[in-house]
């Protein structure tokens, strides 16, 4: 069968069950765009207003569905505009297939020692190779099946991540005989079967432990094993803490004691510090989670780590820790079926005392706003949070309901993620309610996508927490630069627009809130079927509290606890 290469690419995506792609038009992807048009009843190619937004939308689509997202861009600046989203997918283990256009093969520099031969020619493969699991320049039409199959497999196999195929224009429009194409022979990375060893070790350690706890990481969300995690927690009746971006992994669970780390909740850090056994599943246990001096984390605990990426396990927290390279699903299935003759009820009561004694200790006005907003957002909806102070407030104070998912940019920490991610999440969830929470800085990173909402009228609700500052950096300047707010406050050069007027210009429903008592007024807007922008104006300096100072153990965050209370909590047993 004869077929154009770009048609073959789109057919491949359709056959893989991918129903949505995101991109921006450009000269070197016009063939691919036209092929999407031919199959528009089977796959929708959504045109956003910046390539970075396309990448973030594809990330959220994949985070929701568990299937690869797809984003495309023209060559040169279009391809380089994808890079932040590619990095986001790489660090957060999100499977994405990126397609970039490039100049015709006969126009390319082809090894000549010059910077560029043709307009918008760029070597995107050299640029993105450190941020992708696989990337390739497709130099002949007959390679397309091999590269598509390898790209799809690579994006999903083991620890998921992004891949990229660079497609010259003449390759896209070339005709191929689909019957004779070389296929990719999949060679999965086979992990050692350590299930029996893991089970024996966990039974031994849990039988000896007096104060064990679990850390549930983003690997639980990536592998879509939330229900297995619930069964494991409730079977063993263990307290658990999470990484920040997986705080929503089990909604409203009595065994949950917060997310840990530098910006984590005090109760979570105290629970970890007082544990004599920590079982970490799918968490990188990076510096933000365990502190810069890694051996200070949970000094008296035996640590067991489960991760699908063996390289992560080489970056040890304790030199004598127990590590198992295995999938979260396998570890959780074992733990959900264990019978341990041990009663941890006293340890749970200690954890609950810690929670009660610290309740509300670091609450501030933004936390109150987030908590009240969370009460209004429907079950089974998706929440996207941006990066900065708003991200931490969401993790601290948003109270997840049944079926809700909260999406973050974790490792990359990219401002501007939340709004385009909300677009991808809407399509990935088959039209569920979506709420985007961001700061005034992050909102301006991809503010152009308001036109997408104006055009498509999809019911995304944007909540802008406007403190008229880059609050997290302003706080750094307060702590370390003698209150010199250069480039972060209006006095230093940073300002924000009137978002109410911006929304009006785009024809979007909008509202301004200036007090937590007014939040209830948002209910009708949040529940209707139209896009809307709600601006929360915060007139006081804002902080993310608590915060870990360099070199201190996680449980001793700033502002420093009264030493009497600190010692009381550490001595609870």
pLDDT digits (tens, 9 = 90+) for 253-310: 999 999 999 999 999 999 999 999 999 999 999 998 998 889 899 999 999 999 999 9
Structure tokens at 58: 């594809």
- At 97, give phi and psi (nearest 5°): -105, 115
Q: What is the pLDDT of residues 381-427, one digit of tens each?
A: 999 999 999 999 999 999 999 889 999 999 999 999 999 999 999 99
User: Backbone dihedral region of 106: left (phi > 0), alpha (psi from -120 to 50 degrees) or beta?
Assistant: alpha
Cβ(408)–Cβ(43) under 8 Å?
no
| Residue 512 pLDDT > 90 | yes
E strands, 321-420, in order: 322-325, 382-385, 405-407
112 pLDDT tier (thresholds 50, 70, 90)? confident
Q: What is the mean pLDDT of residues 194-215?
A: 95
Cβ(54)–Cβ(33) under 8 Å?
no
Which pLDDT belongs to residue 460? 97
Instruction: Give the DSSP H/E element, type plus range, for residue 547.
Output: none
Find the helix packing angle between 563-571 and 266-274, rounded to 10°.
40
Could you give the CA distance from residue 58 to residue 546 in angstroms, rounded to a whole number? 33
| Residue 507 pLDDT > 80 | yes
Cβ(394)–Cβ(458) under 8 Å?
no
| Residue 188 pLDDT > 80 | no
pTM comes to 0.95
Which pLDDT belongs to residue 221? 93
% of residues, the chain, pLDDT over 70: 100
Could you give the CA distance from residue 250 to residue 218 in angstroms, rounded to a whole number? 12
Which pLDDT belongs to residue 118? 81
Could you give the CA distance from residue 253 to residue 360 in angstroms, rounded to a whole number? 19
Which pLDDT belongs to residue 30? 97
Which pLDDT belongs to residue 573? 86
Find the helix packing angle between 144-156 and 5-15, rounded to 10°.
30
Which pLDDT belongs to residue 341? 87
Instruction: Give the DSSP H/E element, type plus range, for residue 439.
Output: strand 434-439
| Residue 92 pLDDT > 90 | yes
């Amino acid at each position: 069968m004869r077929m154009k290469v770009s048609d073959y690419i789109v057919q491949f995506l359709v056959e893989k069950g991918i129903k949505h792609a995101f991109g921006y038009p450009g000269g070197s992807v016009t063939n691919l765009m036209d092929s999407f048009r031919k199959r528009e009843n089977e796959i929708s190619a959504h045109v956003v207003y910046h390539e970075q937004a396309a990448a973030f939308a594809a990330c959220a689509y994949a985070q929701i569905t568990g299937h690869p997202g797809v984003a495309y861009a023209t060559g040169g600046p279009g391809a380089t505009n994808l890079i932040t989203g590619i990095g986001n997918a790489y660090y957060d283990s999100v499977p994405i297939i990126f397609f970039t256009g490039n100049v015709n093969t006969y126009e390319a520099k082809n090894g000549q020692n010059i910077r560029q031969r043709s307009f918008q020619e760029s070597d995107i493969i050299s640029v993105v190779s450190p941020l992708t699991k696989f990337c390739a320049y497709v130099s002949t039409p007959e390679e397309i099946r091999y590269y598509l199959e390898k790209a799809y497999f690579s994006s999903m196999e083991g620890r998921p991540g992004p891949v990229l195929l660079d497609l010259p224009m003449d390759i896209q429009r070339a005709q191929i005989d689909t019957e004779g194409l070389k296929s990719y022979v999949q060679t999965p990375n086979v992990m050692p079967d350590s299930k029996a060893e893991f089970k024996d070790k966990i039974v031994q350690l849990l039988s000896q432990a007096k104060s064990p706890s679990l850390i549930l990481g983003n690997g639980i969300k990536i592998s879509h094993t939330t229900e297995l995690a619930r069964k494991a927690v409730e079977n063993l009746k263990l307290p658990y803490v999470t990484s920040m971006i997986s705080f929503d992994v089990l909604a409203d669970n009595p065994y949950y004691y917060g997310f840990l780390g530098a910006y984590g909740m005090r109760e979570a850090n105290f629970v970890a510090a007082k544990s004599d056994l920590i079982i970490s599943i799918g968490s990188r246990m990076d510096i933000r989670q365990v502190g810069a001096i890694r051996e200070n984390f949970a000094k008296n605990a035996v640590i067991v780590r489960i991760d699908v990426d063996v390289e992560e396990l080489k970056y040890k927290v304790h030199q004598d820790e127990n590590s198992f390279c295995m999938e979260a699903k396998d570890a959780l299935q074992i733990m959900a079926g264990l019978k341990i003759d041990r009663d941890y009820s006293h340890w749970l009561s200690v954890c609950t005392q810690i929670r009660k004694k610290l309740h509300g200790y670091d609450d501030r006005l933004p936390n109150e706003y987030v908590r009240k907003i969370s009460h209004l957002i429907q079950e089974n909806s998706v929440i996207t949070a941006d990066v900065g102070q708003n991200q931490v407030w969401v993790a601290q104070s948003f109270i997840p309901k049944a079926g809700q998912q909260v999406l973050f940019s974790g490792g990359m920490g990219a401002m501007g993620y939340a709004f385009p991610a909300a677009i991808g999440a809407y399509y990935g969830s088959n039209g569920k309610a979506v709420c985007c929470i961001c700061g005034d800085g992050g909102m301006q990173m991809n503010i152009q996508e308001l036109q997408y909402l104006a055009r498509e009228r999809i019911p995304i609700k944007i909540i802008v927490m406007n403190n008229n500052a880059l609050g997290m950096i302003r706080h750094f300047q307060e702590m370390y630069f003698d209150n010199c707010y250069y480039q972060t406050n209006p006095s230093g050069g940073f300002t924000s627009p009137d978002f109410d007027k911006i929304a009006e210009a785009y024809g979007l429903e909008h509202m301004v809130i200036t007090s937590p008592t007014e939040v209830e007024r948002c209910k009708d807007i949040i529940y209707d079927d139209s896009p809307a922008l709600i601006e929360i104006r915060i007139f006081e300096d804002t902080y993310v509290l608590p915060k870990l100072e360099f070199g201190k153990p996680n449980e001793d965050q700033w502002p420093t606890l009264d030493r009497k209370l600190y010692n009381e909590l550490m001595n609870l047993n």
